[in-house]
């Protein structure tokens, strides 16, 4: 966990380029329908471009990230947050598995996109599964949807 209380969910970096997704905290703590949603930021850095976008991660986004990690670890292309609510992040691993190009597309607001290559560190997939575990431990799901549109606190 960072000093400011943020937890890095994603950190793909090779010195020259990076993609970070930092979870900052709950969107609306105590509000039943939004309690489990998390405020986060996407930060992209390269020698050419630098950008930051605010996002709101729903519980399903964390589940989807776990599936994206499985796809990437298997060497397959994957995309995360494709619902149009947040910027979409696409990943295209190299055939050798030691590098990837990620593309962040701000489809929800500006329409801007940036693609950045990054060399993947040894053990990156396991490290990211641990990052996901830390996010879930810091902000566990405390609300359950008992029927469509009906929520209650977990017991």
Dump pLDDT digits (tens) for 59-110: 999 999 999 999 998 989 999 999 888 999 999 998 776 889 999 999 878 8
Q: Is residue 100 part of a domain?
A: yes
Q: Single out the residue of 36, 68, 42, 66 nearest to residue 55, CA to CA.
A: 42
What is the spatial distance between Cα 16 and Cα 95, in angstroms, rounded to a whole number?
Answer: 21
What is the spatial distance between Cα 100 and Cα 84, in angstroms, rounded to a whole number?
Answer: 23
- Looking at the 3D structure of the chain, how many domains does it have? 1
Q: Is residue 106 part of a domain?
A: yes
Q: Which residue has the tokens 């996901």?
A: 132
What is the spatial distance between Cα 64 and Cα 86, in angstroms, rounded to a whole number?
Answer: 13
Give the domain extent around 31.
7-138
Q: Is residue 113 part of a domain?
A: yes
Q: What is the predicted pLDDT for the residue at 117?
A: 93
Token pair belonging to 101: 């190009």
Q: Is residue 37 part of a domain?
A: yes
Q: What is the DSSP letter of 141?
A: -
Q: Is residue 152 part of a domain?
A: no
Q: What is the CATH number of the domain that holds 104?
A: 2.30.31.10
Whole-prediction pTM: 0.91
Q: Is residue 38 part of a domain?
A: yes
């Amino acid at each position: 966990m960072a000093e400011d209380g943020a937890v890095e969910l994603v950190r793909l970096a090779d010195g020259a380029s990076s993609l970070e997704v930092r979870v900052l905290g709950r969107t609306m703590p105590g509000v039943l329908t939004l309690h489990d949603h998390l405020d986060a930021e996407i930060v992209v850095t390269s020698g050419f471009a630098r950008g930051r976008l605010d996002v709101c991660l729903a519980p399903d986004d964390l589940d989807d990230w776990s599936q994206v990690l499985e796809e990437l670890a298997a060497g397959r292309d994957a995309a995360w947050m494709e619902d149009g609510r947040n910027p979409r992040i696409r990943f295209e691993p190299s055939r050798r598995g030691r590098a990837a190009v990620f593309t962040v597309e701000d489809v929800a607001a500006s329409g801007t996109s940036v693609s950045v290559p990054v060399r993947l560190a040894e053990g990156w997939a396991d490290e990211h599964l641990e990052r996901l575990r830390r996010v879930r431990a810091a902000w566990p799901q405390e609300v359950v949807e008992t029927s469509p549109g009906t929520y209650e606190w977990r017991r």
